[in-house]
Amino acid sequence: MLNNFTTVKKVAWGFALLTLVLMVAVALTLWQVARTQRVTQELVGKSGPMTEASLRLISGVNNSISQLRSWMILKDERYKRERLEAWSEWIEPSLANLKRLIDESGDTTQQEQLDTVEQQLQQLKQYQEQIEDIAPSVSSPTPQTAVQ
């Protein structure tokens, strides 16, 4: 079949075939770049802020627990105040931010998980308040009396 074509036709068909392959390669590349861009936008727009809010929430819980432990040991009002600040400045704003982000995403699984986390945080807050109320009534040596 190729014997019937002249050299010019063979070269033209070669260039046409090469052009077709190149067009398919460019189209596939553009398609893949668009997919990658969507994934990147999702990571930057949704996953990144959710991760940041989650880490702030965890840091707030750790700070609150640490301040409560210091309050129990040292009975210094500063730790009581800092525990409340951890809730008002870290935990509650991060929880509200997570709620907003999950509502925007519309993911029901994440919503259920956040509801569970919110219930656990409410329990933690109640337990911390109970401990804070009980701690001064329990007699324990203060650091000054322990050193003497």
CA–CA dist 117, 54 (Å, integer): 11
Indicate the length of the chain as a whole number. 148
Q: Which pTM does this prediction carry? A: 0.68
pLDDT in tens, the chain (148 residues): 667 788 888 899 999 999 999 999 999 999 999 999 998 887 787 788 899 999 999 999 999 999 999 998 888 899 999 999 999 999 999 999 999 999 988 889 999 999 999 999 999 999 999 998 887 776 555 555 444 4
The domain segmentation of the chain, as residue ranges, is 45-136
CA–CA dist 7, 128 (Å, integer): 88
The pLDDT score that the predictor gives to residue 146 is 46
The pLDDT score that the predictor gives to residue 47 is 84
Residues 6+ apart with CB under 8 A from 97: 49, 53, 56
